[in-house]
Amino acid sequence: ETGVTQSPTHLIKTRGQQVTLRCSSQSGHNTVSWYQQALGQGPQFIFQYYREEENGRGNFPPRFSGLQFPNYSSELNVNALELDDSALYLCASSFRLAGNTGELFFGEGSRLTVL
Amino acid sequence: EDQVTQSPEALRLQEGESSSLNCSYTVSGLRGLFWYRQDPGKGPEFLFTLYSAGEEKEKERLKATLTKKESFLHITAPKPEDSATYLCAVQMGTGNQFYFGTGTSLTVIP
């Protein structure tokens, strides 16, 4: 069984740039959620994708966007990067059944630094 | 208003010294409470799911319990490899998001 994989593991961007983070779901999972974790904080929900559509969004501006592909992999795009976007970005996959997200299984994260 | 509060923020234990971590929540319509372990610079690792008051789950030296307002993660005779941050999360109502606490950083000293 293949776990959740994320790329890249680390990246550095400058303010105003755009970034794309990628995630491959765990085998058998059909739902992908993205979370942002600032240093010393718990993960904060960005959004969830199910059946290639956004299915729930946290308190993040529209410059945070995403995609889910037919193979259940996903991308997180962030435009017009700000210094406060520096964080660990976590992708989590799960098996959604009867409207229930189920347990989240996380990847190792992508550490984004915005200068 | 914080919906999930974890205490203590940090805990140092001697190897073999048992203790408990607390997660209190102020949500309605709890669908599940989840415990995760997170090592520095890594993603959270799933430990337990609890769904209803009175439920208990165990895994090696860890035992999680749930009441109507809080959950405890009991660590029995911890070892240095149990050192990590332990995160609690709740899922509530009809939403899809998990609400995480800020975690308890556990250090077990040999």
Q: Which domains does chain B have, with CATH numbers?
A: 14-93 (2.60.40.10)
Find, among A57, A59, A55, A65, the residue nearest to A21 by Cα. Answer: A65
Q: Using one digit for the tens of pLDDT, what is the confidence trace for B19-76?
A: 999 999 987 788 899 999 999 989 999 999 999 999 999 999 999 999 989 999 999 9
Q: How many residues does chain A have?
A: 115
| Angle at B84 (CA atoms; ends B79, B86), nearest 5 degrees | 115
Q: Given pLDDT bands bounded at 50, 70 and 90, which one contains residue A88?
A: very high
A108 interfaces chain B, CB cutoff of 8 Å:
yes
Mean per-residue pLDDT, B2-12? 92
Secondary structure of residue B23 in the 3-state scheme: strand
Q: How many residues does chain B have?
A: 110
One-letter amino acid at A61 equals: P
Secondary structure of residue B80 in the 3-state scheme: helix
DSSP symbols for A55-72:
EEE-S--TTEEEEE-TTS
Predicted local distance difference test score (pLDDT) of residue A42: 95
Above 90 in pLDDT, residue A101?
Answer: no
A109 with B42: Cβ contact below 8 A: yes
N-terminal to C-terminal alpha carbon distance within chain A: 38
Predicted local distance difference test score (pLDDT) of residue B93: 76
Above 60 in pLDDT, residue B2?
Answer: no
Pairs across A and B, CB distance < 8 A: 61
Q: Please report the residues numbered 37 through 56 in chain A whose beta carbons come closer than 8 angstroms to any beta carbon of chain B.
A: 40-45, 48, 55-56
Q: Six-digit token pair at B25? A: 């929540």
Above 90 in pLDDT, residue A83?
Answer: yes
Q: Using one digit for the tens of pLDDT, what is the confidence trace for A34-70?
A: 999 999 999 999 999 998 999 999 999 999 999 999 9
Closest-CA distance, B43 to chain A, in angstroms, reads: 4
A70 interfaces chain B, CB cutoff of 8 Å:
no
